[in-house]
Structure 1
């Protein structure tokens, strides 16, 4: 029997009266997510490290005269910034944990954590838990197909015992994203909450993140790959938009539908065995609470 043809999903339903927070919203997937949400009538908080860049991208969004936009400073790698943002942002319908870094040379955050772990996982872990009492609908976790090669080691999250490998550290942080997604939904369900956690990944999308690694060779290769294989950011943002606006069950994970989920249209996709391990997820949650000082509030 021939496989049913996947119909492209591009129609974000009306979001009038709904308030979204999108981290890392000055470029790439985050910016396209914000743009589409505003076009659908939402109020979008651009949670960004640079207020200047945030205001630059907000100007054309405000000109749309459909939804509305505000810009707030947030550096998810800095827990004091996360706490300050969470204390002042107010009520939120949907939190989109999108900001991320890729393949950085070894560095530590201001709190002393390996920077990719701090940015991609710990900061978003803290932000979601701090905001949960004021979220009305869901948390969206943006992960990556790279999670499949992750080697998350809870005894060495900071890569101090092992030799540091930039892309292995990235993959591990993305595996942490999916472990967080599953454990958050389990905790919400156990607490009797109607909130839900959903996830998405953008496949192979051409964005600026590939040029931010500090490796000139990787940047050149990524530029070629982006030109030959990369989806435009508007299409790469569709799984995130689907996860944030459509009526899907908690712990749903969405990605592009074509070969190896590199490109295509949003559909439910799988995840690796390690990224689905509830015991590992619980252990990571406990370690994340210890490192951030932020606990599940419900």
Structure 2
């Protein structure tokens, strides 16, 4: 526990975190892995951290492992009613929203609203949450993306976002991570156009050993990924550093942070590039419009800070 606390306080490659006393952060999926490390580091730097989790009991167990000011609130990103309830229950300013939660390479499943689970959770859930909370946000939105946005099959199929024609767990995951980066790109454009000082940035952890890989639906893929975690991956403490860097450093809007090592798999956090597909403003705008139609949630241009 002492080593974990030291890693969180120093934020490793992110450098020492500034004093965050008086600031409030929401971290989705904060009960384990990268989310827990991120929540712990922010709380130990003085922030009041809200662990936004699907399972409140697991969230409370995670919060008990954190030194600092925390609370646990229920949020199921695969259920838009839950997203709306979470946002409706928010009162007062919110300095930092970290869109961390996600699911990875699942067999074909659907959210409560009928969307493909990975696209619905990783993108649409966070899309709705961010827009509903934007009137409260004072500083920035950090969305955790992935190098998977470069994988084969990582395209936005506007005629089949649920990939019903030829579902592939890996392609569906890659699409959801590409959607994360396009979301950040278009969100920053809209914030700038509206004259808001809020920034939207993205980060990815490289290859970090977390429990996300253990939830992959294919047992062979799950076994290979767990083996890779043991042999090659960096720790979840190291994997959280790009997120923390993106959360506290003075970065331009739409920045993307990842590890500086070979293939961006591990290393110290730095600004990194993204694929051509993830940099296309036309696709980003089109995805935003489609996401508004699917979720019924719009950009609150007239209510921003």
The TM-score by the shorter chain falls in which range?
over 0.9
- Find the aligned partners of 1:42 and 1:145 in 2 and give their Cα distance: 29
Deviations 1:245-286 (A, max 9, x none): 111111110000001100001000000000110000000000
Rounded to whole Å, the distance in 2 between the matches of 1:152 and 1:74 is 26
| Cα distance change on mapping 1:8 and 1:140 into 2, 3 Å | closer
Q: Which residue of 1 aligns with 2:110?
A: 108
Say whether residues 1:86 and 2:87 are aligned partners. yes
Tell me the matched-pair count: 287
TM-score (norm 2): 0.93
Q: Is residue 28 of structure 1 aligned with residue 29 of structure 2?
A: no
The reply to whether residue 153 of structure 1 matches residue 157 of structure 2 is yes
1:288 to 273, 286, 291: 291
Which whole-Å CA distance do the structure 2 matches of 1:8 and 1:84 have between them? 36
Q: How far apart in 1 are the matches of 2:90 and 2:240?
A: 24
1:205 is aligned to: 208
1:51 alignment partner, one of 47, 56, 62: 56
Worse-matched range after superposition: 72-81 or 150-159: 150-159
Structure 1 residues 157-211: Cα deviation after superposition (integer angstroms, max 9, x where no partner)? 0112x21000110000000000000000000000111111011000000000001
Q: Which residue is equivalent to 2:245?
A: 242
The corresponding residue for 1:132 is 134
CA drift of 1:42 comes to 0.6
User: In the aligned structure 2, how far is the partner of 1:31 from the partner of 1:170?
Assistant: 22
Inter-partner Cα distance in structure 1 for 2:49 and 2:32: 15
Q: Gaps spanning 5+ residues in structure 2: where?
A: 1-11
CA distance in 2, matches of 1:49, 1:258: 33
2:13·2:241 contact (CA, 8 Å) conserved in 1?
no
Match for residue 181 of structure 1 among 184, 191, 198: 184
CA distance in 1, matches of 2:14, 2:285: 34
Which residue, out of 274, 277, 280, partners 1:277?
280
- Tell me the CA shift for residue 89 of structure 1: 2.4
What secondary structure does 1:155 align onto?
A: coil
Mapped pair 1:75 → 2:58: no
**Residues of 2 paired with 1:164 and 1:219: CA distance?**
18
Q: 2:219 aligns with which of 195, 216, 220?
A: 216
Distance 1:78 1:210 in 2: 22
SS at match of 2:110: coil
Q: Structure 1 runs of 4+ off > 2 angstroms?
A: 7-10
